[in-house]
Amino acid sequence: MSAGWFRRRFLPGGLLSAPGPSRPRASPVPYRRPRFLRGSGSGPGPADASRRPDARPVRSPARGRALPWNAGYAEIINAEKSEFNEDQASCGKLCIRRCEFGAEEDQEWLTLCPEEFLTGHYWALFDGHGGPAAAILAANTLHSCLRRQLEAVVEGMVAAQPPMHLSGHCICPSDPQFVEEKGIRAEDLVIGALESAFQECDEVIGRELEASGQVGGCTALVAVSLQGKLYVANAGDSRAILVRRDEVRPLSSEFTPETERQRIQQLAFVYPELLAGEFTRLEFPRRLKGDDLGQKVLFRDHHMSGWGYKCVEKSDLKYPLIHGQGRQARLLGTLAVSRGLGDHQLRVLDTDIQLKPFLLSVPQVTVLDVDQLELQEEDVVVMATDGLWDVLSNEQVARLVRSFLPGNREDPHRCTAHPWEGHVEGCSPAQSNEPISPLSQSLLSFFLLATLAVQKQLSIRVSHQWWATRRPGRRT
Amino acid sequence: MSAGWFRRRFLPGGLLSAPGPSRPRASPVPYRRPRFLRGSGSGPGPADASRRPDARPVRSPARGRALPWNAGYAEIINAEKSEFNEDQASCGKLCIRRCEFGAEEDQEWLTLCPEEFLTGHYWALFDGHGGPAAAILAANTLHSCLRRQLEAVVEGMVAAQPPMHLSGHCICPSDPQFVEEKGIRAEDLVIGALESAFQECDEVIGRELEASGQVGGCTALVAVSLQGKLYVANAGDSRAILVRRDEVRPLSSEFTPETERQRIQQLAFVYPELLAGEFTRLEFPRRLKGDDLGQKVLFRDHHMSGWGYKCVEKSDLKYPLIHGQGRQARLLGTLAVSRGLGDHQLRVLDTDIQLKPFLLSVPQVTVLDVDQLELQEEDVVVMATDGLWDVLSNEQVARLVRSFLPGNREDPHRCTAHPWEGHVEGCSPAQSNEPISPLSQSLLSFFLLATLAVQKQLSIRVSHQWWATRRPGRRT
């Protein structure tokens, strides 16, 4: 994306602001649930007779096959807030091919023998909004984008130090010194590949949704295990934590209009046209009213971490660019997240004001050096959409995990109720007899918990047990 | 500063880019050293006969009067890199007046009786570049800007919770609830006041330097003690640390072209005109050459924390927006810092490309809750310009402090060699018989260490002792 593209696409008079009406329409993205849920049934079976009558059904992978690293997964059946479940998930094995370099311009990617592959694992959660299409496309596409981006840099990843030139030919004798001075490591290439893959996937979603006349967006939380490290990439308000015996470590940060206030206000400062005179970029503790005119009220602008007082003018009475706090905070009165994929056509209701310029598709990536951590058998990573974190704190989730896992040590499937069937496109299915990688020997386990119940009763199925947790004062 | 102003000022065709040639020129800012050094002499006295022959002279406040909190201060006499010492410092007592609110439009600020004043203390270091004028103006002005900004919000600071309306009249019954939900505390008003004061001071410097036909800029590191808290505001590459018996805690971050790479690249992405086709915004491990054309080399763009590979095009051979690493990193080949005051007229040599659009005058503010810390007598804050931190690490400075202070417990002036004479304009002089504030009773002491020797031999004078520290392999 270039600056020129940005201006043509989003500023008044831009050439790209409306899609061509004569373009033939592609067929809509078909609805589906995650592939690894195939055969698991759509609701609780007879074994679930003990569940509370007000608990909504939970789906987990069918019993018999394991997810990578014997991960557990659970999702709550749609609370009928929307026509379809808007969340999606995918996981699988990542097989990264090496390319053979030649001097010719038309060099080809060559698939070498399997032993030369670099393999990893991939788990992803996508929390959709405005329809399920973006989340489905992300679940179908992002791992392919990531594989492609990783294959483009894999030569650098497997070197002792990423070379200045990917070909390995040292044009300048001091190149290795410069790479070392900049502190560039193999993991920086994986981080760069994740960042690029999210952007590429966002562009694919934009094209596909425009072609099929669909709309929607989604957050994306991805974990990738590769070369002894676990990478967690997050764009949106999902969250991943590492739960250990005596530690709960956040592995991601949430990106919402509140947490990214300064970035969003800064863009509105640089390009006030984006607000079309309908919004104020300033933040106030509440929406101002006519009575406030001429009063000195609390406010924040883009350059401020602290608060000041300003004399209220008429333009301050406009609707704020970011309004509300906590879960109620909205960007342009519309969206509760500030990063994610999709939303290319999203506009403020009854206006031509676009939200996409304020959204970032780039994730923040954190790296967990699994080889350096002395992990115990009960150490797990919990990834979940905001449905879980709205009703349980990190510590509460950790307590749940710690209360269950040690009591089921003999159960090889204790993190997952059922085997997984099928596999994600672009990833090879996990073979039950594949050799255990050094990473899985390190005893790190996964929970993939996709909850679709926002502010609703929450049930998490882990292994064969049910937990029903209800937030005090909330109605089911 | 509005977006319109930014565009008129910095983009091609802007109206404000050149000062009017017919304006009468004001007299230049007179050169001086910090006022509290008066009477301290310009070089080492007879008591310094023991100093090493290759040590450059150090100045400290004259003996007899104490700096606020008995702070120590030392600076090294100019190493003749420039005509004048470009660093400046100031400190003093901050007296914040309360205003009396009336219903009239022409309400006046009233000075109430001294007991009603809110008092604090202020210490500041300014590391100048391109001439001493900006640092002198900052040392003369910033505390007045801060006092003015604090007086504008002091009613909110002394309330149990900052009111939505500064007048205290509650227009909407739910106002306190909104303030609480936003988590706004009195300290947020001080942070906001510091942010605004830095910006106001930057505007004053811009006007004054333009009027007198002078140039230059400076970093600013400020500590303010107020209402039981210590605020550290930093714009530039100076640093403050808290040294305790078993802890060294950074109180600031450095802002350089390297640490603010993404912000700077992002601006160049949004406004490519600012580079005038002469620079590339992309980062490479080293400057590219003709031989690199067509090769895949390591690079980073504004959205990337990690690294990727790109095929080198001709435009990539331009000089990079940010080039070099560590102390050698430069913005537009010119400046080593990315935040500070001044530099309004600074341009890339022999071009019309301005640096000011890429510089921020806003500081980052950290808050130390002095009342919550169980401080010991030897706990001190060390503030210093990069001259100190280039040759000594945080831990080395902490060891120096710890090795000296406990051995001089009986000396009431152990942190400062000499009393301070004079006082900073706009601040009252510290009275030797003033009652000890709760904050100074908390036994936190200050070092103000302004070193002018960058990559040169370093001497720090603390109390009556000399230390001469030389970095191995560096020539004096």
Residue of A nearest to B2 (CA): A269
Give CA separation, B340 vs B220, B234, B255, B326, in Å. 6, 9, 9, 18
Ramachandran category for residue A473: left, alpha or beta (phi over 0 → left; psi -120 to 50 → alpha) = left
Percentage of chain B with pLDDT > 90?
46
Range name among A133-147, A294-308, B17-31, B240-254 with the lowest pLDDT average: B17-31
Mean pLDDT over residues A244-256, rounded? 93
Residue B438 has pLDDT above 80, yes or no: no
Taking the CA of residue A435 and the nearest CA in chain B, the distance in Å comes to: 31
Task: Report the amino acid identity of residue A468.
Answer: A
Q: What is the distance between the alpha carbons of residues B51 and B74, in angstroms, rounded to a whole number?
A: 15
pLDDT in tens, B175-188: 999 999 999 999 99
Residue A397: both structure tokens together: 């989730």
Q: What is the CA radius of gyration of chain B?
A: 24
The neighbour count for residue A266, using CB atoms within 10 Å, is 19
Q: What is the DSSP string of A275-300?
A: GTTTEE--B-SS---GGGTTSEEEEB
pLDDT in tens, B215-267: 999 999 999 989 989 999 999 999 999 888 889 999 999 999 999 999 999 99
Q: What is the ipTM of this complex?
A: 0.83
Q: Check CB contact under 8 Å for B193 and A166.
A: no
Residue B431 has pLDDT above 50, yes or no: no
Give pairs for B27-32: CB < 8 Å, separation 24+. Answer: B27/B212, B28/B133, B28/B212, B28/B213, B28/B214, B29/B133, B29/B136, B29/B137, B29/B208, B29/B209, B29/B212, B29/B214, B30/B136, B31/B84, B31/B132, B31/B136, B32/B136
Q: What is the pLDDT of residue B82?
A: 67
The neighbour count for residue A397, using CB atoms within 10 Å, is 24
pLDDT in tens, A110-122: 444 444 578 888 9
Q: What is the pLDDT of residue A413?
A: 58
pLDDT in tens, A289-312: 999 999 999 999 999 999 999 999
Mean pLDDT over residues A81-107, rounded? 70
Q: What is the pLDDT of residue B33?
A: 85
Comparison of pLDDT for A472 and B13, the residue scoring more: B13
Give the burial class of A4: count Cβ atoms within 10 A of its Cβ; 0-12 exposed, 13-18 middle, 19 or more buried.
exposed
Strand segments, DSSP code E, in B252-387 are 279-280, 296-299, 308-311, 319-320, 322-323, 330-331, 341-342, 364-369, 380-384
Taking the CA of residue B52 and the nearest CA in chain A, the distance in Å comes to: 35
Residue B411 has pLDDT above 70, yes or no: no
Q: What is the distance between the alpha carbons of residues A196 and A159, in angstroms, rounded to a whole number?
A: 21
Residue of A nearest to B170 (CA): A292
Q: What is the pLDDT of residue B435?
A: 33
Q: Indicate the angle between helix axes A186-212 and A133-158, nearest 10 degrees.
A: 150
Q: What is the distance between the alpha carbons of residues B389 and B251, in angstroms, rounded to a whole number?
A: 14
Q: What is the pLDDT of residue A275?
A: 97
* Residue A446's pLDDT band (cuts 50, 70, 90): low
Q: Check CB contact under 8 Å for A298 and B172.
A: no
Are B54 and B431 in contact, with CB atoms under 8 Å apart? no
pLDDT in tens, A331-371: 999 999 999 999 999 999 999 999 999 999 999 999 998 87
Q: What is the pLDDT of residue B408?
A: 60
Q: Check CB contact under 8 Å for A285 and B192.
A: no
Q: What is the mean pLDDT of chain B?
A: 78
pLDDT in tens, B41-96: 544 433 344 444 455 566 777 776 667 777 778 777 665 666 778 889 898 889 89
Task: Report the amino acid identity of residue B458.
Answer: L
Contacting residues of A for B149, CB less than 8 Å apart: 308
Q: What is the mean pLDDT of chain A?
A: 78
Contacting residues of B for A200, CB less than 8 Å apart: none
DSSP secondary-structure letter at A339?
B
Taking the CA of residue B340 and the nearest CA in chain A, the distance in Å comes to: 14
pLDDT in tens, B390-406: 878 899 888 877 776 66
The full length of chain A comes to: 476
Task: Report the amino acid identity of residue B301.
Answer: D
